[in-house]
Amino acid sequence: MVETPSKVLIVEDEPALVDTLEYSLRREGYTVLIAGDGPHAIETARREQPDLVLLDIMLPLLDGLDVCRILRQEMNTPILMLTARSEEVDKVVGLELGADDYMTKPFSMRELKARIKALLRRVRLDRETVAVAPALAPDVPAARMTFGDLVIDLSRHEVVLAGVAHHLKPKEFDLLVFLARNRGMVLSRELILERVWGWEFDGGSRTVDVHVRWLREKLERDPSDPQRIVTVRSVGYRFEG
Ligand code: CA
């Protein structure tokens, strides 16, 4: 089966960087779209439904943080943020914007391409896993995991707690699924990072802690005394079924 080339939307206002990115990504076989400011980015994303958005933070008219927030409400397209400073990284991670990954400028084009590939592959794998799992194990309701009043619905990418559906961001959902699939096992932050974020991700294990905190806020009766996602001191986390 010949795959249609993935469509990447570059949102960046520095012409030199746009040129470099466009050239490199076209050479990799991607279809490239370009937007030079925030409103144009949103308009292009809505119209073209790209497979991935490469999003600079400092943009004219509407900055990348707002663009990310708006796009995230409308689509599941993976978003890779380009940040110029480490304070911006904190914003991306801390504001719960829903970006899937980020890179700090200056970055190596090689690494950027690896991250893009990894994000696109993960999206594809997610789709395949959902589609394929029931066929591989027809006797196991693989598309759904139930733990007491917590139901993780893999096919709908939805979590229902005591009858109430909760929206999780893509990474939160991936993390929860990974923890739940390995319930009862102590999982180190490093392993979680590698399996959920991929080996190319170098954001550090704080990312895991931040996402666990968000999950607890949504899924624990008392987030300060978690019963589902338990901290294992100096190692990592364990999901209690
Ligand atoms: Ca910029």
pLDDT at 191: 81
Residue 42 CA to ligand 1 center (angstroms) comes to 16
pLDDT at 131: 46
Q: What pLDDT digit, counting tens, does each position of 54-93 carry?
A: 999 999 999 999 999 999 889 889 999 998 877 777 677 6
Residue 98 bridge partners (DSSP)? none
Cα distances (angstroms) measured from residue 2 to each of 6, 31, 77, 118: 12, 15, 21, 19
Collapsed DSSP state (helix, strand, coil) of residue 145: strand
Task: Kindly state the tokens that stand for 168.
Answer: 């999780």
Task: Kindly state the tokens that stand for 191.
Answer: 């392993």
Please indicate, yes or no, whether the overall pTM of this predicted structure exceeds 0.75. no
The secondary structure element, H or E, covering residue 27 is helix 15-27
| Average pLDDT for the chain | 85
Residue 196 CA to ligand 1 center (angstroms) comes to 29
Residue 111 CA to ligand 1 center (angstroms) comes to 19
Name the band, by pLDDT with cuts 50, 70 and 90, for residue 190: confident
Q: What pLDDT digit, counting tens, does each position of 129-174 carry?
A: 554 433 333 344 457 888 889 999 888 888 999 888 888 998 999 9
Above 90 in pLDDT, residue 225? yes
Cα distances (angstroms) measured from residue 181 to each of 3, 13, 24, 159: 30, 42, 38, 14
Above 90 in pLDDT, residue 209? yes
**CATH 1.10.10.10 boundaries in the chain:** 137-239
* CATH number, span 7-129: 3.40.50.2300
Residue 59 CA to ligand 1 center (angstroms) comes to 5
Compute the average pLDDT of residues 13-19.
95
Above 70 in pLDDT, residue 4? yes
CATH 1.10.10.10 fits 137-239, yes or no: yes
pLDDT at 97: 76
**CATH 3.40.50.2300 boundaries in the chain:** 7-129
Q: What number of other Cβ atoms are within 10 A of residue 136's Cβ?
A: 9
